[in-house]
């Protein structure tokens, strides 16, 4: 090891969608309103107020679980476009890709889990419609959010090392100045806009999540603007009774949207199961561009808002999806 120099051993060959700028994040956070103000609005109002063309956006979820689908559908309908996308995705990435809204992707996983490879991702990437695909692991992308959440420009990890996942990322390998071993440095990922769906929130944006928390904690803090949707809006007293349960505090949040069944056709821990029949229908439709377009018309474009979607699905079907208890065993 040479004194005073950290030796760079390797660099991923893909570009950073946005280089880490912690001064910019700090300035943005300094300017945020920390007062307790009512931030309740509709999906459409939140997208209109806080999303711009060309934004770097992230969607938090695990698979189809706790996914802000009502926000994603509103985003598609808004006509805004040219986004860079970060995160890992299933149904929500598919509808954003199907609507041609994505320019570049920080990609960890986009697929249909047990139903296999996503034909929508295949069409979007193999045709060259998506300009750059930058590879990361699930751990790497969440640690990139964590670095931003910590307010530091990078975090070291032993993931990614030696692989093409590293070679086609925008990470850097250096000789660790403490041990002399190679270590992978992950650049902080600061989003323009984060979309997160939670079990409950108050009107100020204090959020509770039931069950596992995925990467909500980190992504909320890595977002310059944050739109939260919630199954249930509760009185601030409910939050104050159990402040240790607040995963995302109000000062990170710009908009709070009341979205019952907001994760549909995905699921919500302790509330409802995935609508497997609908998802299977989507998996089938995804196979061809024509059927995908028809699905998008029927379930996204032709509906004015989330309320209209819930009406189309119908109470009986929604009720049948409800579960008791966090384990999801009926």
- The structure tokens listed for 310 are 């819930």
3-class secondary-structure state, position 62? strand
Sign (positive or negative) of CA dihedral 168, 82, 268, 314: negative
* Interacting residue with another protein among 19, 54, 79, 327 (CB under 8 A): 327
Residue 13 or 312 with smaller CB distance to another protein: 13
Letters for 27-66 (x = contact with another protein by CB under 8 A, - = none) are: ----------------------------------xxxxxx
Which residues make beta-bridge pairs with 186? 155
Angle between helical axes of 276-285 and 289-296 (0-180°, round to 10)? 140
> Among residues 154, 215, 264, 299, which is the contact residue for another protein, using CB under 8 A?
215
Least distance CB 203 / another protein (angstroms): 26
Structure tokens at 330: 């009926």
Rounded to the nearest whole angstrom, what is the least distance from the CB of residue 163 to another protein in the complex? 5
The first and second tokens of residue 184, run together, are 């992978």
3-state class of 135 per DSSP?
strand
Binding to another protein by residue 151, rule CB under 8 A? Answer: no
Q: Report d(CA 67, CA 94) in Å as an integer.
A: 13
Q: Select from 1, 8, 49, 212 the one that contacts another protein (CB under 8 A).
A: 212
User: Smallest Cα–Cα separation from 98: which of 129, 70, 131?
Assistant: 129
CB-wise, 135 or 254, nearer to another protein? 135
Q: How far is the CB of 117 from another protein (least distance, A)?
A: 6
Say how many residues touch another protein, by CB under 8 A: 66
Contacts of residue 107, Cβ cutoff 8 Å, sequence gap at least 6:
88, 133, 134, 135, 136
- Chain residues binding another protein by CB under 8 A are 61-66, 88, 90, 107-111, 113-114, 117-118, 121-122, 125-126, 128, 133, 135-140, 142-143, 146, 157-165, 168, 173, 181-184, 211-218, 267, 269-270, 273-274, 276, 323, 326-329
């Amino acid at each position: 090891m040479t004194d005073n120099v950290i030796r760079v051993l390797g660099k991923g060959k893909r570009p950073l969608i946005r280089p880490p700028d912690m001064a910019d994040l700090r300035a943005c956070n300094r300017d945020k309103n920390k007062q307790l103000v009512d931030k309740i609005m509709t999906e459409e109002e939140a997208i209109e107020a806080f999303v711009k063309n060309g934004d770097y956006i992230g969607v938090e979820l695990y698979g189809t679980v706790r996914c802000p689908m009502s926000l994603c559908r509103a985003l598609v309908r808004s006509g805004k476009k040219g986004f860079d996308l970060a995160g890992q995705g299933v149904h929500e990435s598919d509808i954003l890709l199907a609507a041609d809204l994505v320019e570049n992707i920080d990609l960890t996983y986009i697929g249909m889990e047990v139903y296999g490879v996503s034909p929508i991702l295949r069409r979007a990437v193999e045709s060259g419609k998506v300009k750059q695909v930058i590879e990361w692991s699930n751990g790497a992308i969440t640690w990139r959010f964590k670095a931003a959440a910590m307010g530091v420009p990078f975090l070291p990890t032993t993931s990614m090392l030696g692989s093409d996942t590293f070679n086609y990322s925008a990470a850097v390998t250096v000789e660790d100045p403490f041990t002399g071993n190679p270590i992978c440095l992950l650049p902080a990922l600061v989003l323009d806009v984060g979309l997160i769906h939670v079990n409950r929130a108050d009107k100020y944006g204090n959020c509770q999540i039931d069950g596992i928390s995925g990467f909500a904690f980190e992504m909320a803090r890595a977002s310059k603007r944050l739109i939260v949707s919630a199954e249930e809006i509760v009185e601030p007293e409910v939050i104050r009774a159990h402040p240790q349960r607040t995963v995302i505090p109000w000062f990170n949040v710009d908009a709070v949207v009341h979205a019952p069944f907001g994760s549909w056709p995905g699921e919500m821990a302790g509330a409802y199961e995935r609508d497997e029949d609908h998802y299977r229908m989507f998996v089938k439709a995804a196979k061809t561009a024509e059927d995908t377009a028809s699905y998008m018309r029927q379930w996204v474009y032709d509906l004015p808002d989330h309320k209209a979607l819930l009406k189309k699905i119908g109470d009986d079907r929604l009720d049948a999806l409800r579960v008791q208890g966090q384990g999801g065993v009926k």
